[in-house]
Structure 1
Amino acid sequence: MDFSDVSLTALRVFREVAERGTFTAAATALGYTQSAVSRQIASLERAAGAELLERRREGVRLTAAGHLVLRRATTVLDQIDATARELAGLPAQAGTVRVGWIPSAGAALLPRAVTALRRSHPAITVTTREGTTPALVRALRAGSVDLALLATAPPFRPPDTESPPLTLQTLTERSLRLAVPAAHPLARGDFVDVADLRGQRWIAGPSTGEDKLMGVWPGLDERPEIAHTARDWLAKLHLVAAGCGLTTVPVSLVPAAPPGVRNLPVRGGPQEQRRLLLAHLPARLTEAASRVADALRTAALDADAPL
């Protein structure tokens, strides 16, 4: 085992692969070819004398040795980046907190928390990035974000099985709602019966890879008719307002719905609960990260107040 010749490029590529989950995604993010990414990983594994990534059809997974190298690589790269900033005369980033968030948390909860922090702790800088729950879990493991807002549905399993387990706190647990055009016959009442969802047209997110078919009411006993696909929640809600179909919506997004949309509970089937989780690595949070976590909890309490 000889790490003396390991390049910083190889460490950065390795961290990107660990975070993105595939060689292809890492290559795209870095602007490299996939073969260049493969060569960097191969050189790192030769230096380590061990396999760092378990190659699977759906992507890669860190081995035990890979987890160890990732922890060390993250420390080294963070130190190098901090040194570069100091040499360039830029301010230290000790007060910067990186937050990852799922789209349904970004429209209401996250802006509320950031606004409160500007008033209470103006020295803290919050940077954010959107992602799916699996992608954000990888980002936490790779050290690319400090905190993450994640979504989970019954049976509410942990977001991954890696060790050590992530520290998780439930911020909200609310029932899923149905977004209906205001002029739609289903919008006439105060709730929708699940039996009336048969034969409806749906607006859903694209179902690719790790993303599920978000937007169709879970458990329908028919193949849904997808009239429109959109990844962005607000785009889906505006399509609903235009009368293009129905979509599901987390309660946290109800205040962000445009005019022309009714958000109704669904009755007659199992309760479709959704939890919003605040996640971070089990290590003690910095003071700045703790302040941001407190602001997110407070914002979630406000959002979880009865509608």
Structure 2
Amino acid sequence: MDISSTGLRVLRQIAESGSFTAAATRLGYTQSAVSRQAASLERSAGTALFERRPDGVRLTPAGLTLLCHARTILDCLTAAERDLTGTVARTEPVRLGLFLSAGAAILPPALARLAATDPQITVTTTEGTTPTLIRALRAGSIDLAVLTSRPPHRPLDGESPRLHVETVVDTELVVAAPSTGEFAGRTAAHVDELVDAPWIATPASNSEPLLGVWPGLPGRPHIVHRARDWLTKLQLVAGGFGVTTVPSRLSPVLPPGVSLLHVEGAPPEIRRVLVARLPGRPTPAITAVTRAITSTA
């Protein structure tokens, strides 16, 4: 096969982004350039590497096989560039992905522990939804991911081999409500009281569910604001402009004016926090970061 390093980088980015358009944006290419690279890869491989679906692009089994080799090749090229330029790695880098609320509650204490126990490790982070981070893990763009799952906790994706997963903690979902107004002074609310409440939610897509509305809410929710940023959502709650669901572990970082309500009249909503990586023996740095997360979460 005659495959360029550019083609391998395009393959990796398509696997991570889940679409040609998103891959083009991340790489700074036009969509047509990414499509040409994808077609060239398939010609060189002599088989289909990409499955075009209504919700985006996924790699075929042949594409996943090539991706495994692409990660190794691109890592070797990076190492060769470092050797040729005489750059000496003084730290052990770990690329960590976290789901959207983990940064506030989990990341700071984990980094503080690492600074004390393993100062030679440098952690770089990126936020994303669980589906996005799983694709990034498979693509080799991150080394480790903090993810979330809901019962019955099935495998994170249908790809093979399965990701190596460790349970960090189980946490309960609660409702963040303004400290003034209808729910002032309360620590619980019946699910029927929340049916007509103004909800603040994260926008949904074909591959990523709506977040922020109570999962067992009867009827259609009344969504007044859509925001991905947790600071925005919680400040809207503090201002009295709506309610949103949050993991109970966020309680230490809530802004003034926000109270947490346990939901009655509905089954508890439990979410499991996980640390995932590709299968195989991890590096000592990845093991240390995993240990810091599990011990401080």
The TM-score with structure 1 as length reference comes to 0.93
Specify the code of the residue in structure 2 equivalent to 1:151.
Answer: T
How far has the Cα of 1:93 moved from its partner? 7.0
Aligned length: 297
2:101 maps to which of 88, 99, 104: 104
Equivalent residue, structure 2, for 1:28: 25
The answer as to 2:215 corresponding to 1:218 is yes
How far has the Cα of 1:94 moved from its partner? 6.6
SS of alignment partner, residue 6 of structure 2: helix
Specify the code of the residue in structure 1 equivalent to 2:200.
Answer: I
The answer as to 2:294 corresponding to 1:294 is no
Equivalent residue, structure 2, for 1:141: 138
2:183 maps to which of 186, 193, 199: 186
Query: 1:44-87 deviations in whole A, cap 9, x for unaligned?
Result: 11111111111112112211211111011111111111222233
Equivalent residue, structure 2, for 1:61: 58
Query: 1:126-145 deviations in whole A, cap 9, x for unaligned?
Result: 11111111111111111111
Equivalent residue, structure 2, for 1:303: none
SS of alignment partner, residue 176 of structure 1: strand
Counterparts of 1:221 and 1:293, CA distance in 2? 38
Specify the code of the residue in structure 1 equivalent to 2:213.
Answer: V
Counterparts of 1:184 and 1:207, CA distance in 2? 29
The answer for unaligned runs of 5 or more in structure 2 is: none
How far has the Cα of 1:164 moved from its partner? 0.5
SS of alignment partner, residue 279 of structure 1: strand
The answer for unaligned runs of 5 or more in structure 1 is: 301-307
- Measured on the aligned residues, the alpha-carbon RMSD in Å equals 1.3
How far has the Cα of 1:216 moved from its partner? 0.9
Contact 1:175 1:274 (8 Å CA) reproduced: yes
The TM-score with structure 2 as length reference comes to 0.96
Specify the code of the residue in structure 1 equivalent to 2:64.
Answer: H
Counterparts of 1:249 and 1:91, CA distance in 2? 43
Query: 1:234-257 deviations in whole A, cap 9, x for unaligned?
Result: 211111001001110012222111
SS of alignment partner, residue 103 of structure 1: coil
Alignment of 1:214-293 (within 5 A): 214-293=211-290
Counterparts of 2:38 and 2:249, CA distance in 1? 41
SS of alignment partner, residue 74 of structure 1: helix
Equivalent residue, structure 2, for 1:304: none
Counterparts of 1:190 and 1:135, CA distance in 2? 34
Specify the code of the residue in structure 1 equivalent to 2:229.
Answer: D
Contact 1:102 1:151 (8 Å CA) reproduced: yes
Equivalent residue, structure 2, for 1:9: 6
SS of alignment partner, residue 282 of structure 1: coil
Contact 1:95 1:125 (8 Å CA) reproduced: yes
